[in-house]
Structure formats: structure tokens, C-alpha cells
Amino acid sequence: MSTALLFPGQGTPGRATPVSTTDTQVALLTTGVAAARTLIDEHGLRVDAVAGHSAGVFGAAVVAGVLDLPAALRVVRVRGAAMERACASGSWAMAAVRGLDRAAVQRLVDTTYGPLWIANVNAADQIVVAGTRAALDALRRRAPAAGARDVIDLGVAVASHGPLQAGTAREVARALAGEAHGEQRRAYFANTTGRRLLHAPGAVLDDVALSVQQPVRWHDIVRLMPELGITTTVQVPPGHALAALAARAHPHLTDLAVDDLGIPATVHRLKREE
């Protein structure tokens, strides 16, 4: 059995986050790393790879060994504050379009007036779009005629993974340059390329910085995992959206969420699978 830990971010449907994006990202990081360390250090779970969705890249980088937790906390605060500044001059949001593929959503984006872009490719038929609230409202009105099943607001007050956050990516890169990094101990799946990184801590840090400016290629990540020997995914808290996406992409894999089972039951289930 080869296991990958999945670290959620803000841009996953069903996780409305009406509080500060900085506080949310700090909470995601600390909760995810605490759960991962409990699974690994206290329960002996062997983890071969990590993947973080959006802000989840920080928890993934810590568990991969590239960043220590204090450094990650410092930099994630830089990220959150810079994102908020980038969005301070307007009304921004993100929404998941379900039932259309990327090409169809891109056509909607291209023909809708206002700042708008594809932010996350979560599944073949679940594409997250970010932009101004006015542009998203216009897209939402037009989406049913294009064949969309629904458009779900993600409950965030920022728009990430697009050109608005270019300055944020630069700030995060500068902050990371001032932090020491460790030797990479586990494979890391990159948001920006959808590929696996091995023994490449510099490339991991590049992904951590650039992912706020570029679309999250989550569907590419989960499609690649079985090809590289991953048989099991475990989503650390909060939620189970990433585990569900992995299960949809590969029904034959074991896809678990700690929030669904609790840590002891999760470990027990995995040991039964061995």
C-alpha cells in the first residue's frame, strides 16, 4: 500500500469561510499538520506522498520535509495578508461550476464581461472560477443554458489562482527565500503542473509561491497518482471534498477522510487494507 496525504485549501466546495482568509489559511495549516503528525508519529502510518490544494500546499510542504512549521506559519501569513490587499479595492469571489468541462467553462469565461478566470480544475466536470462578484453573477445566469448543473459559491471574499494575485506570488517567493528549507523526504504533487516532485525542494518552494497566481491542476494530480503507485489517499481535516474528488476519479482506490472516521478508525481501516 502506498499512501498520499491530501491537504485541503479554501477553494473546495462545501467549505464556506466567512472569516479572514489569513486566519483561515493559518487554521488550515495547523490543523492539517497536526493531523498528519498524529497519523505518522503516533500511529505509525507510512506516508509516501503529499498533495495540497491551494493553501494546502503549505501543509504538504511541511510534511514533505521542505519547510518547518514555524517557517510555514510565517509565510502563510504573508500570503493571506497579500491576498487580502490584492482584493481590497473590489468585490471578489469564487464559485464552482459543476457539470461542464474546462473547455466549456473557458468559453463562458471568455464571453462574460468583467475580470474572470479559471482558478481550479477540481474534476473533469467541476471547475472553479474566480473574479468580481458582478462577473460571477453574470456567468451564473448564463451557465444553465451552457449545460451547467449548478454554480456553487465558495463563500470566500478573495479571488485567487489568477492574475490578480501576481503580486502575492512575488511576496510569497521573497518570504520563502528568507527561510531555511530542509531535505525533501516525501514526494510532493505540484498545484501548478499537476506533476510529482522528488528530491527537489527548490521546485516545491516555487510551487508554493506560484500556486496562488496559477490555476490549481487538482484533476491532473489525482489522475496521475495511481500511475505512480499510489493506492490510498487520506484527506486530513477539515472536510472530505478532496477524498471525494479522488474517489470519483479512481473508484478502485481507497480514499478516506479523517473527518469522516476519526484518526484511530482511519488507521485501523488502512491497516486492514494492507
**Annotation marks residue 252 as catalytic:** no
Name residue, grid cell 496525504.
5
Of the listed 54, 211, 219, 240, which one is catalytic? 54
Q: How confident is the model at residue 17, as a pLDDT? A: 47
Given 2, 43, 53, 161, the catalytic residue: 161
User: Is it the case that residue 13 has pLDDT exceeding 70?
Assistant: no
In this prediction, residue 270 carries a pLDDT of 86
Mean pLDDT in residue range 185-202: 97
Among candidate residues 9, 4, 50, 5, the one with its CA nearest the CA of residue 211: 9
pLDDT value of residue 74: 98
123-180 pLDDT, tens digit each? 999 999 999 999 999 999 999 999 999 999 998 889 999 999 999 999 999 999 999 9
Name residue 182's beta-bridge partners.
none
The answer to whether 95 touches 141, Cβ cutoff 8 Å, is no
Q: Does the domain formed by 3-86+163-273 have CATH 3.40.366.10?
A: yes
d(CA 8, CA 12): 7
Q: For 36-95, how does the pLDDT look when each residue is reduced to its tens digit (9 = 90+)? A: 999 999 999 999 999 999 999 999 999 999 999 999 999 999 999 999 999 998 899 999
Topology adopted by domain 92-153: Alpha-Beta Plaits (3.30.70)
What digits encode the pLDDT tens for the residues 228-245?
Answer: 999 999 999 999 999 999
pLDDT band, very low/low/confident/very high, at 97 (cuts 50, 70, 90): very high
Per-residue pLDDT band for 105 (boundaries 50, 70, 90) equals very high
pLDDT, averaged across the chain? 94
Whole-number Å distance between alpha carbons of 172 and 85? 13
Give backbone dihedrals phi and psi of 51, rounded to 5 degrees, phi first.
-150, 130
* Residue 161: active-site member: yes
Q: Could you tell me the residue ranges of all domains in the chain?
A: 3-86+163-273, 92-153
Of 221, 83, 218, 224, the closest CA to residue 157 belongs to 83
Highest mean pLDDT among 74-78, 246-250, 260-264, 267-271: 74-78
**Alpha carbon of 174 to those of 55, 110, 195: distances in Å?**
17, 33, 24
Q: How confident is the model at residue 14 (pLDDT cuts 50, 70, 90)?
A: very low
Helical (H) or strand (E) element with 172: helix 166-177
Q: So what's the pLDDT on residue 18? A: 52
